Amino acid sequence: MKELSVGIDIGGTNTAIGIVDEKGNFWAESSISTNKYLTIESFVEALTKKINECLDSINENYIVKGIGVGAPNGNFYTGTIEFAPNLNWKGVVPLVELLNKNFHLPIVLTNDANAAAMGEMIYGSAKGMKNFIVITLGTGLGSGFVVNGKLVYGNDGFAGELGHVIIDVNGRKCGCGRKGCLETYVSATGIKNTVIELLDNKNSESILNQIDRNKLDSKDIFMAAKEGDKLALEAFDFTAKILALQLANSVAITSPEAIFLFGGLALSGDYILKPTKKYFEENLLEIFKDKVKLELSGLMGKNAAVLGAAALIWNI
Amino acid sequence: MKELSVGIDIGGTNTAIGIVDEKGNFWAESSISTNKYLTIESFVEALTKKINECLDSINENYIVKGIGVGAPNGNFYTGTIEFAPNLNWKGVVPLVELLNKNFHLPIVLTNDANAAAMGEMIYGSAKGMKNFIVITLGTGLGSGFVVNGKLVYGNDGFAGELGHVIIDVNGRKCGCGRKGCLETYVSATGIKNTVIELLDNKNSESILNQIDRNKLDSKDIFMAAKEGDKLALEAFDFTAKILALQLANSVAITSPEAIFLFGGLALSGDYILKPTKKYFEENLLEIFKDKVKLELSGLMGKNAAVLGAAALIWNI
């Protein structure tokens, strides 16, 4: 009998749903709005309906092994979404408990970056690896650490916050209320702010000067770099240098076999990967040099967030 | 039948041997010189003889479950000591293989800090904990990370090198050949160098001025702090601030239940612990505040290195 997993990716705007088998094939797909639902109860009701529609559309015998959910601030241990700044539902939201009333199946919740790491292990480039790190470079910087073949959730379910490692106590203000967190430099938002600083300080002739600063995003910086824009290339170099040092420091702690970069900023490909690799090797402790792979995610361009959520079920 | 473990702590000068039960009681103890033996073969021969003498001295029926060894640069996966700067035997030394010729038992080798972490879990203050960190503050800074109840060895057996996290790319020269590693600031050696810098820069009236700088050690700094010496207190504060930030950063990665400080500098007790605690809480990401215990090791003053090595056998 075909075994299937339901993968759900809850984003600030949309929630994507996929019914996936162990090889990563999609048997059904759909989505609902996230921000349309002002209460968690109404959201769970709509989500339940859509999951059932997806399952009903499959014309083959199957078993549903469980439901995996990736969500901002998702806590693996408690099954709750806790104080997620970009969702309508405030405080601690018992998502798994509510879903379990409608689906009497194993339901696993974790944050987006941990789901991405699990997706990499089951469906991506980390197949067979026991120790690796996935870094998601989006609006912020998320990370999923896998040690001995298991995701590191830590004592309270919130491990893997590499984006909130402080790299400069007098650095940029972070959304978390502190200063100098890694994600204020290394993320789609971080590189945008780096470009703005460079434009302000340099009187440069960059083509990025022509873009309204409120609309500037990491894709614009990528396009400028492709055209050889020096300021854009400098911004990538600056970002890569900071990322590389913290990756080298992470290697000293968990000694992974590989590190995978994922998310919007990783779409810049070699513009972020090449300088990061160079600085990474320079910064590694001797015993780790030339040992640790640094690559783009093997799931780039795929519906990776849903795959990652679905993957949670194969590794309970 | 009484079950026993052989714990061996290989230091640069001496190698300590203890026969220990699961409660941490010593049934026999001894030691041999480490640096007297110029070849690993002659060392293993002497060590074997001494272990057998210890075992022969026990007047009760017993089973030996295995031999645990803590050694600088000890690799768990390969059973080898690799390029240990303070030992006579150069290159990669197959210690477990050689010992196994004489003892047909499980033999586990790891580095000192990992052994300390295992000792804390079996015999110390981390009993029952699944996620914690032990920091050893000696000549350098060692660390053992426990995640999901298991030591983190990483892909190559060398995980847990928190002492070689780079905190300042232009910082103090480190023995590893790079600059600004944490242990150049936070260790017995680090605080000594901080005191020397402060003495040079301040024309201070510190009582530490009376000590020959070549002989100055962390105990002198502790004694001066006890007498209220301002410069000594400033050195502790400076050290604590740097340690605290990196502990807070480590919490963001592995989210431990507790962190334990161990080793020579930790003998300074509250002089290092109190300011570290203060800065640690200040630096933690909101979700981790008031959650993570920061304490001195529960094995301080005990033969902890041997206990830690023996503990490796109870957690294979």
DSSP string, A129-172: -SSEEEEEESSSEEEEEEETTEE--TTTS----GGG-BS-TTS-
pLDDT of residue A201: 86
Establish if A155 touches chain B: CB-CB under 8 angstroms. Answer: yes
* Shortest alpha-carbon distance between residue B23 and chain A (Å): 26
Q: Please, which pLDDT band fits residue B70 given cuts at 50, 70 and 90?
A: very high
Tens digit of each residue's pLDDT (9 = 90 or more) over B205-237: 899 999 998 899 999 999 999 999 999 999 999
Does the CA dihedral B184-B186-B189-B194 come out positive or negative? Answer: positive
Helix (H, G, I), strand (E, B) or coil at A89: coil
Cα–Cα distance between A57 and A68 in angstroms, integer? 19
Cα–Cα distance between A9 and A303 in angstroms, integer? 10
Query: Hey, of B287, B290, B294, which one would you mutate to test binding to chain A, going by the most A CBs within 10 A of its CB?
Result: B287
Partner-chain contact B156 A249, CB within 8 Å:
no
pLDDT of residue B123: 93
Task: State ipTM.
Answer: 0.92
User: Is pLDDT of B316 > 70?
Assistant: no
Judging contacts by C-beta atoms under 8 Å, the chain A residues touching residue B288 are: 156, 158
The pair of structure tokens assigned to A266 is 């990783």
Establish if B286 touches chain A: CB-CB under 8 angstroms. Answer: yes
pLDDT of residue A306: 94
Residue-wise DSSP of B104-136? -S-EEEE-HHHHHHHHHHHHSTTTT-SSEEEEE
Partner-chain contact A155 B287, CB within 8 Å:
no
User: Is pLDDT of B83 > 90?
Assistant: no
Q: Please, which pLDDT band fits residue B190 given cuts at 50, 70 and 90?
A: very high
Closest listed residue to residue A258, CA positions, set A150, A148, A152, A134: A134
The pair of structure tokens assigned to B125 is 């203050």
Tokens 């783009």: give the residue.
A296
User: Is pLDDT of B315 > 80?
Assistant: no
pLDDT of residue A316: 66
Asked, colleague to colleague, whether B2-121+303-315 and B128-296 share their fold, the answer is yes
DSSP state at residue B85: T
Q: What is the mean pLDDT of residues B287-302?
A: 92
* Shortest alpha-carbon distance between residue A50 and chain B (Å): 33
The number of beta carbons lying within 10 Å of the beta carbon of residue A290 is: 6
User: Which residues, listed in sequence order, are joined to residue B7 by a DSSP beta bridge?
Assistant: B18, B68
* Mean of the per-residue pLDDT values of chain A: 94
The pair of structure tokens assigned to A231 is 């300021």
pLDDT of residue A83: 85
Question: Beta strands B62-70 and B107-110: pairing type?
Answer: parallel
Q: Tell me the whole-structure pTM to 2 decimals.
A: 0.93
From the options 3.10.310.30, 3.10.290.10, 3.30.420.40, 3.40.50.1820, give the CATH code of A128-296.
3.30.420.40
pLDDT of residue A315: 73
pLDDT of residue B61: 93
Partner-chain contact B159 A255, CB within 8 Å:
yes
Query: Hey, of A133, A168, A249, which one would you mutate to test binding to chain B, going by the most B CBs within 10 A of its CB?
Result: A249
* Shortest alpha-carbon distance between residue A197 and chain B (Å): 22
User: Is pLDDT of A66 > 90?
Assistant: yes
Establish if A316 touches chain B: CB-CB under 8 angstroms. Answer: no
Distances, alpha carbon A178 to alpha carbons A81, A113, A159, in Å: 22, 21, 18
User: Which residues, listed in sequence order, are joined to residue B181 by a DSSP beta bridge?
Assistant: B166
Q: Please, which pLDDT band fits residue B202 given cuts at 50, 70 and 90?
A: confident
Partner-chain contact A256 B155, CB within 8 Å:
yes
Cα–Cα distance between A305 and A14 in angstroms, integer? 12
Whether residue A4 contacts residue A19, with contact meaning beta carbons closer than 8 Å, is answered with yes
Cα–Cα distance between A60 and B104 in angstroms, integer? 56
Helix (H, G, I), strand (E, B) or coil at A92: strand
Tens digit of each residue's pLDDT (9 = 90 or more) over A109-155: 999 899 999 999 999 999 999 999 999 998 899 999 999 999 999 99
Nearest to B254 among A130, A131, A152 (CB): A152
Partner-chain contact B154 A250, CB within 8 Å:
no
Q: What is the mean pLDDT of residues B250-262?
A: 97
Cα–Cα distance between A310 and B35 in angstroms, integer? 56
Of A61-65, A204-208, B60-64, minimum mean pLDDT range: A204-208
Residue-wise DSSP of B10-48? E-SSEEEEEEEETT--EEEEEEEESTT-SSHHHHHHHHH
Residue-wise DSSP of A276-315? HHHHHHHHS-GGGTTTSEEEE-TTTTS-HHHHHHHHGGGG
Name the B residues in 158-177 with CB < 8 Å from any A CB.
Answer: 158-162, 164-166, 169, 176-177
Whether residue A250 contacts residue A133, with contact meaning beta carbons closer than 8 Å, is answered with yes
Closest listed residue to residue B114, CA positions, set B163, B153, B167: B153
Whether residue A224 contacts residue A208, with contact meaning beta carbons closer than 8 Å, is answered with yes
Q: What is the mean pLDDT of residues A269-288?
A: 96
Whether residue A152 contacts residue B130, with contact meaning beta carbons closer than 8 Å, is answered with no
Closest listed residue to residue B279, CA positions, set A143, A251, A178, A161: A178
Counting one residue from chain A and one from chain B, the pairs whose CB atoms sit within 8 A come to 128
Specify the CATH number of the domain B2-121+303-315: 3.30.420.40
Query: Hey, of B161, B169, B184, B284, which one would you mutate to test binding to chain A, going by the most A CBs within 10 A of its CB?
Result: B161
Cα–Cα distance between B26 and B148 in angstroms, integer? 29
Nearest to A164 among B161, B285, B291 (CB): B285
Distances, alpha carbon B54 to alpha carbons A152, B35, B105, B108, B313, in Å: 41, 21, 16, 19, 18
User: Is pLDDT of B314 > 90?
Assistant: no
Q: Please, which pLDDT band fits residue B117 given cuts at 50, 70 and 90?
A: very high
Whether residue B19 contacts residue B25, with contact meaning beta carbons closer than 8 Å, is answered with no
pLDDT of residue A270: 96
Cα–Cα distance between B217 and A310 in angstroms, integer? 56
Q: How far apart are the first and last CA of chain A?
A: 20
Tokens 């790079």: give the residue.
B178
Q: What percent of chain A has pLDDT over 90?
A: 86
Establish if B92 touches chain A: CB-CB under 8 angstroms. Answer: no
Partner-chain contact B159 A254, CB within 8 Å:
yes
Closest listed residue to residue B123, CA positions, set B233, B7, B254, B276: B7
Judging contacts by C-beta atoms under 8 Å, the chain B residues touching residue A147 are: 147-148, 152, 154
Name the A residues in 122-151 with CB < 8 Å from any B CB.
Answer: 130-131, 143, 145, 147-148, 150
Q: What is the mean pLDDT of residues A22-49?
A: 95
User: Is pLDDT of A301 > 80?
Assistant: no
Judging contacts by C-beta atoms under 8 Å, the chain A residues touching residue B250 are: 253
Cα–Cα distance between A101 and B117 in angstroms, integer? 42
Q: Please, which pLDDT band fits residue A72 given cuts at 50, 70 and 90?
A: confident
Domain ranges of chain A: 2-121+303-315, 128-296
Q: How many Å is the maximal CA-CA distance in chain B?
A: 65
